[in-house]
Chains A and B, each alone.
Chain A
Amino acid sequence: MTISEMSNLLFAEGWIQTLAQGAVKTLGISLGAFALGLCIGLLVALIKLRGPRWMVACANCYTTLYRAVPELLLILLLYYAGTDLLNLAMAAMGRPSVEINGFLAAVVVLGIVQGAYSGEVIRGAVEAIPAGLVEAGRAYGMSRAKLLSRIILPCMLPFAIAGLSNLWLVLVKESALISVVGYSELLTAGRQAAASTKHYLLFYLVVAAFYYVITLVSSMVFRKFEAGFERWMPRNV
C-alpha cells in the first residue's frame, strides 16, 4: 500500500475523524473511571487503615479478588451482572427495563476494577506519611475530617502520585477491553474502520499510535504534577 492510498483512506474518507472521536471517548471513560476509582480507592484505604474489623475483611476481599481475576472477565461479569441487577430492580419497582448507557456502564465497570488497585496505592501512601505530621495536626485540635483534608490527603499525594500515574496508564490501556462489550471507544472505532475497508493492519496500527500518543502525553503531564507535589519534600534524605 502506498502513502497516498493510506492518506486517502485516513483523511479523504474521514476515518481519522472516526478514530479521533473514539479516542475522545476513550479519554472520557478513562477519566471518569479514574475519578471513580480514586473515590473507591480512598474509601477502601481509609477502611483498611481505620475501619472496624469486618469492614477491613470486606475491603481485603475486594482488593485481593479484583486483582487476581482477569480484567476482561471482571468486565464481562460486572457488565452483565450490573445490567441484570438494574433491570431486576426496575422490575421490582414496577418500571420498564432500561437501556444501559454505554458510557456510564464503562465508567462504573472500569472504576470498580480501578478502585481495587488505587486503594492499595493510597493505603501505602497514607502509611508513608511521617507520624509526626498527623500528631501535630491532632495537637492543633483538628477534627478527623479536617485532619484528612488538611494533612493526610495533601501529604499523601507525593507518595501516591507515582503509583497513581502508573494506574492511569494501565487504565487507559484497560479501557480498550470495553470494546468487548460493545461500547464504541477507540478500539471499536478502529475495528469498524478495519472491517469496512479491509485494511486491518493499517487501522490497528493507527489505533495503537493513538494509544501511544495518549500514554506518552499523559506520562509527561504526570511528571509535571509530580514535580509540583514534591516541591515541599526534603531532598537527599
Chain B
Amino acid sequence: MDLTWLNDFSSELLRGAGLTVQLLLISAGFGFVLAIAMALGRLSNSVVLANACRFVSSVIRGTPLLVQIYILYYGVGSVLASYPLIRGGVLWPYLREGFWYVALALTLSVGAYVGEVLRSGLRAVPRGELEAARAYGMRRGQILRRVWLPRALQMVRPTLAGESVMLLKSTALASTVAVTDLLGAANIVRSQTLRVYEPLLLVAITYIVLALIIEKSFKLMGTTSQRRV
C-alpha cells in the first residue's frame, strides 16, 4: 500500500469530507422539519391530506435515490436550462451545481423515511399523556412541542440513529452528479494517480469514522429511560 499521493491530494479530500458533512447537516436539518410535517400529515384527520402524504411517501420510498437525483439533476435541470430567463438569472450559478439538487433529493428522502419513523413514534405515545397535557390547558402547538414530539423522539431515538447513518451513506451518491464529496474526491485521486484501492479504502475508513461519530452522538443525546416519566 502506497500513500505517497496523500500529500498532493489532502486538501481535495478534506474539502470533499467538508462537502459530505455539509450535505449531511443540510439534508438532516431540512429533512427533519419535512419529516415532522409528513408524519403529522399522515396522522391528520383529513382523508385527502393523509392519503396524499401516504402516496408521496410511498413514491419516494419506492424508487431508488439515484433515480431521484437523476430526475432532479438531469431532468429538472435540463428543463430549467431551457428557459433563458432562468439561465441568465442570478440563481443560475447555484442551479447549475449538482450540490443543491442532491441536497434537495436527500431532504425529500429524509422527509419520507424519517416521517414514517416519526409517525410510528407519535402513535406510540400513550393517549393519557396527551389528554393530561390537554387537561392542563395547553394548545395544540404546545402539546406537540412540549409533550407529543419529545416523547415520540425519545422512543424512536435508536431508529433515528440508524436513519442518520443511512443518510451519511446516501450522501455518497452525490459523486454520481459530479459533486466532489468524499467519494468524488477519491474518484479524482483514482483517475489522476491510477490507484484503485488506496483512495477508496481511505475514504471507506473515513465513512466508518463518521458513522461511529453519529452513533456516539446519538448515544450522548438524552439517555432518559422510558420508565422515568
Query: Interface on chain B toward A: helix, strand, loop, or mixed SS?
Result: helix
Which residues from chain B contact A198 at a C-beta distance below 8 Å? 78
**With an 8 A cutoff between CB atoms, is A25 at the interface?**
no
**With an 8 A cutoff between CB atoms, is B102 at the interface?**
no
Please measure, in the bound complex, the distance between the C-alpha atom of A178 and the C-alpha atom of B43, giving whole angstroms.
Answer: 37
In the complex with contacts A72-B176, A212-B62, A204-B71 CB distance below 8 A: yes
Question: How many of chain B's residues have a CB under 8 angstroms from any CB in A?
Answer: 38
In contact, B207 and A205 (Cβ under 8 angstroms): no
- Where the two chains meet, the residues of A that have a C-beta atom closer than 8 Å to any C-beta of B are 65, 67-74, 76-77, 80-81, 84, 169, 172-177, 179-180, 187, 190-191, 194, 198, 200-202, 204-205, 207-208, 211-212, 215-216
Please measure, in the bound complex, the distance between the C-alpha atom of A191 and the C-alpha atom of B71, giving whole angstroms.
Answer: 11
In the complex with contacts A71-B169, A194-B74, A77-B64 CB distance below 8 A: no
- Where the two chains meet, the residues of B that have a C-beta atom closer than 8 Å to any C-beta of A are 58-59, 62-68, 70-71, 74-79, 165, 168-173, 175-176, 183, 186, 196-197, 200-201, 203-204, 207-208, 211-212
Please measure, in the bound complex, the distance between the C-alpha atom of A67 and the C-alpha atom of B166, giving whole angstroms.
Answer: 9
Please measure, in the bound complex, the distance between the C-alpha atom of A157 and the C-alpha atom of B62, giving whole angstroms.
Answer: 24
- Give 29 A-B contacts (CB < 8 Å), ordered by A residue: A65-B208, A68-B212, A69-B169, A69-B204, A69-B207, A70-B170, A70-B171, A72-B172, A72-B176, A73-B186, A73-B200, A77-B200, A77-B204, A80-B196, A172-B64, A173-B65, A175-B64, A176-B64, A176-B66, A177-B173, A179-B66, A180-B176, A187-B64, A190-B70, A191-B70, A198-B78, A204-B75, A208-B64, A208-B71
In contact, A176 and B200 (Cβ under 8 angstroms): no
